[in-house]
């Protein structure tokens, strides 16, 4: 199971304690003249094949002797088939308006296989060279990520867009995501002559010298590094609710929430990518962090059943995509239970 860093664990307990993410009001109470409150805990059984919150390295150094043409990183893959995302929403409703605050948390892992792109020899020592065939896995990188979301949204209810069949909700909101990742190499190449471990380099300069590692006076090696990622921006929650029965108890719902904002990633000077300077053995460091424009969307569709006394259950399927520095993708089934108080 991916390890949780202390700050992220604290955020998880904050979510549980606050009991505060589906930012769409419950249509059953949207036209109440008095104040009502809707509490909705949920779990999203997400599958996360792409971890866009961390840099995707295309270059690492092996014993200080590697070039960008020697190996490449295969597209990352998840270390678990399902990663539950726990969350909840608290909505305040009056007449046609609803204000909701929600949060969710997930801890998940991904891995990167680093493969040789050509046959070459790696030096274990000045007198020992290890042959590496093309396509061989040099090492495997493990990335453990904790993610916390906070959502705010103000929505309006439009009833009977199609009389007695279709209701619509629309609004504006704000989304904040904090993702914290820890990464290390879980395995490396092993030969009869010994093992060759991979390492990270933190460099404050602009170049990295592969030909002469002693020249990298502005660098230090690390066996484990961390990254922090922040996304924040505008959301536009939209909901479409089709009544399947005349009594309004069965409703099929489709929600879509576009996101437009900024991603600000901090890599702490770790070298993940380089490009040639034209000088043999010396590459220019390409930074994969900083601020960039980010867009995405979250969508789910499912069926809700409304019981008497303000209780409703929902089961559906959710997909989320975010494109900033890298692409983040997740999908899977989701269930929630809504408890309404007041507004009778």
Domain 6-342, CATH = 2.40.128.100
CA distance linking residue 196 with residue 200, whole number of Å: 13
H helices of the chain, where?
6-18
Structure tokens that stand for 329 in this block: 């993708």
CB 150 within 8 A of CB 105: no
CA distance linking residue 250 with residue 305, whole number of Å: 5
CA distance linking residue 322 with residue 331, whole number of Å: 12
Q: Is the pLDDT of residue 129 over 80?
A: no
**264-288 pLDDT per residue, tens:** 999 989 888 788 788 877 888 888 8
C-alpha distances in Å from residue 9, one per residue of 16, 19, 63, 86, 148: 11, 15, 35, 13, 10
pTM score: 0.82
Average pLDDT over residues 166-193: 85
Q: Which helix (H) or strand (E) holds 313?
A: strand 311-323
**73-100 pLDDT per residue, tens:** 666 788 899 999 999 999 999 889 999 9
CA distance linking residue 104 with residue 100, whole number of Å: 14
CA distance linking residue 167 with residue 120, whole number of Å: 64
Of 340 and 177, the structure prediction assigns the larger pLDDT to 177
Average pLDDT over residues 211-226: 84
CA distance linking residue 20 with residue 38, whole number of Å: 11
CA distance linking residue 295 with residue 11, whole number of Å: 25
Q: Which residue has the tokens 């990183």?
A: 73
20-59 burial: b if 16+ Cβ within 10 Å, else e: bbbbbbbbbbbebeeebebebbbbbbbebebbbbbbbbbb
CB 101 within 8 A of CB 40: no
C-alpha distances in Å from residue 239, one per residue of 20, 101, 168, 179, 336: 20, 16, 6, 27, 16
Cα separation of the two ends of the chain: 45
Q: Is the pLDDT of residue 110 over 80?
A: yes
Of 2 and 108, the structure prediction assigns the larger pLDDT to 108
Q: For residue 250, list its beta bridge partners.
A: 305
Write 215-222 long-range contacts (CB < 8 A, 24+). 219/271, 222/270
């Amino acid at each position: 199971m991916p390890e949780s860093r202390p700050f992220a664990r604290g955020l998880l307990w904050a979510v549980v304690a606050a009991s505060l993410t589906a930012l769409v009001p419950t249509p059953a109470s949207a036209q109440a003249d008095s104040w009502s409150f809707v509490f909705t805990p949920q779990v999203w059984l997400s599958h996360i094949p792409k971890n866009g919150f961390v840099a995707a390295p295309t270059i690492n150094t092996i014993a200080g002797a590697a070039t960008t043409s020697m190996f490449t990183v295969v597209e990352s893959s998840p270390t678990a088939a399902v990663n539950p995302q726990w969350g909840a929403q608290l909505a305040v409703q009056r007449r046609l308006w609803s204000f909701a605050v929600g949060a969710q948390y997930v801890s998940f892992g991904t891995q990167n296989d680093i493969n040789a792109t050509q046959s070459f020899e790696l030096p274990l020592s000045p007198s020992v060279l290890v042959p590496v065939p093309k396509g061989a896995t040099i090492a495997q990188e493990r990335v453990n990520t904790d993610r916390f979301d906070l959502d705010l949204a103000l929505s309006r209810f439009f009833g009977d867009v199609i009389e007695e069949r279709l209701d619509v909700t629309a609004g504006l909101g704000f989304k904040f995501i904090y993702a914290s990742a820890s990464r290390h190499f879980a395995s490396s190449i092993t030969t009869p002559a010994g093992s060759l471990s991979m390492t990270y380099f933190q460099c404050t300069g602009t170049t990295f010298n592969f030909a002469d590692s002693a020249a990298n006076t502005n660098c230090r090696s690390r066996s484990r590094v961390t990254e922090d990622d922040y996304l924040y921006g505008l959301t536009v929650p939209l909901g479409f609710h089709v009544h399947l029965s005349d009594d309004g108890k069965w409703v099929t719902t489709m929600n879509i929430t576009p996101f437009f904002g900024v991603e600000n990633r901090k890599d702490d000077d770790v070298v993940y990518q380089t490009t040639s300077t034209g000088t043999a053995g010396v590459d220019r460091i390409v930074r994969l962090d900083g601020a960039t424009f980010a867009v995405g969307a979250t969508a789910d569709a499912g069926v809700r059943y409304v019981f008497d006394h303000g209780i409703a259950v929902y089961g559906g399927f959710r997909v989320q995509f975010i494109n900033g520095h890298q692409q983040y993708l997740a999908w899977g089934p989701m269930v929630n239970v809504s408890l309404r108080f007041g507004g009778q």
